[in-house]
Amino acid sequence: MHKIFIRSFVSSLVFLFTLTVAAVAKDVKAAFVYIGPTGDHGWTYQHDVGRKAVEAAGFKTTYVEGVPESADAERVLRQLANSGHDVIFTTSFGYMNPTNKVAKEFPNVKFEHATGYKREHPNVSTYAARFYEGRAILGTIAGTMTKSNVIGYVASFPIPEVIRGINSFTLAAQKVNPNIKTKIVWAFTWYDPGKESEAAKALIDQGADIIAQHTDSTAIVQIAEKAGVYAFGQASDMDKFAPKAVLTSVENNWGPYYVERVKAVANGTWSQKDTWHGIGDGMVVISDLDSAMPSDLQAKVKKLQADLASGKVHAFTGPIYDQKGDLMVAAGKTADDGMLAGMMTYVKGVEGDIPK
């Protein structure tokens, strides 16, 4: 009798415990704040793919799209924090100050800010992807596939993230083809199909037969398709928008990180972190390679991908020289994260000046 009582008591305790854990886990609500429309097929689209992965993992999610980085961001964040969300992902650099400000007022809500560097409160984490690893792969392909030795590159804003990409791309291209030149056009936008198209056309007119982009719309690959030159997809697999032109795409794969962080909130194991993941952690993904690429190039790309993932190869391995010919990274050394984070000089082989 006594025994039965204890057994049933224990089992009901266990049952209750699992019930509460399950209930807590399922009750966590995540919110996502987007800079653009979810249908941009670039930056925001990929974050929304990540959000859907969180939904698929059994959590409730909310999103707000097209939130300007003006005074409005703070209101949206406060509203989300106030309406029962446990973790809020703010997916654009310009949300940095509002994120930290609202985080101070809501210490029980976790905040995850993409691409920023401020973690002023213990409930703020930052995360970003090592896109430059993907760009090293694009550079290898571009250097091999170009015939004119002129590669066009549509850039958004002269910030370290973009400069780093241009450099990584150019260094990798030079490794397979020392004669290449990278021509840059600054579009001063992240998403503006009109401006991006103009930039791509200008580069093609200047003899570029491959166009790389660090802006988010599908306009550039479509221009490339029409002009009969090659291009690379940005953020998402853009192959379906320009099947002939797109050789491959660098995809931003946020899903695994988002699921991991939301689960951490559910389990109570969330803590402040600064995450910078690359190909190895699966945050940067290379899409299928186009059949226009010769098989030895495809093999080379696959190997580089594996080496970047394992850390055997670093995209910034010396000797690296800047435009003036001064040494940036000594032979045999690799650039450290501090240098990468603040990179504001072009490497040798990039044409033009960084707009100041």
Partner 1 sequence: MIKIVKRDQPSRAIFFLTPILAIFLTLVAGGLIFYIIGFKPFEALKFFFIVPIADMYGFSELLLKATPLCLIAIGLSFCFKSNNWNIGAEGQLTFGAIVSGGVALIFYEQEGFYILPIVILAGAIGGMLYASIPAILKTYFNTNEILVSLMLVYVSKLILDYLVVGPWSNPEGFNFPETRQFSDSARLPILFDGLRIHAGIFLALAAVVASWFIFYKTYLGFQMKVSGFSLKTAKYAGYKGKKMIILVFLISGACAGLAGVGEITGPIGQLHREVSPDYGFTAIIVAFLGRLHPIGIIFASLIVAITYLGAETAQIFMQIPKYTGQVFQGMILFFLLASDYLLFFKIKFTGLKK
Per CB under 8 A, residues contacting partner 1 are 31, 37, 62-72, 74-76, 78-80, 83, 93-94, 97, 117, 157-160, 188, 341-342, 344, 355-356
Q: Closest CB to partner 1 among 161 and 239?
A: 161
Instruction: Report, in Å, the least distance between residue 234 CB and partner 1.
Output: 20
Q: Closest CB to partner 1 among 164 and 181?
A: 164
* Angstrom distance (rounded) from CA 114 to CA 241: 27
* Angstrom distance (rounded) from CA 16 to CA 12: 6
Q: Closest CB to partner 1 among 188 and 321?
A: 188
- Dihedral angle sign, alpha carbons of residues 141, 144, 146, 151: positive
Q: Closest CB to partner 1 among 122 and 355?
A: 355
Instruction: Report, in Å, the least distance between residue 71 CB and partner 1.
Output: 4
In this structure, which amino acid lies at residue 132?
Y
Instruction: Report, in Å, the least distance between residue 322 CB and partner 1.
Output: 16
- Cα dihedral value 254, 257, 259, 265, nearest 10: -130
Structure tokens at 239: 């192959």
Instruction: Report, in Å, the least distance between residue 161 CB and partner 1.
Output: 9
DSSP state at residue 353:
-
* Angstrom distance (rounded) from CA 89 to CA 264: 14
Instruction: Report, in Å, the least distance between residue 136 CB and partner 1.
Output: 22
* Angstrom distance (rounded) from CA 1 to CA 343: 74
Q: Closest CB to partner 1 among 65 and 281?
A: 65
Instruction: Report, in Å, the least distance between residue 65 CB and partner 1.
Output: 5
Q: Closest CB to partner 1 among 264 and 339?
A: 339
Residue 228's alpha-carbon distances to 201, 221, 225, 231, 245, in angstroms, are: 12, 10, 5, 10, 7
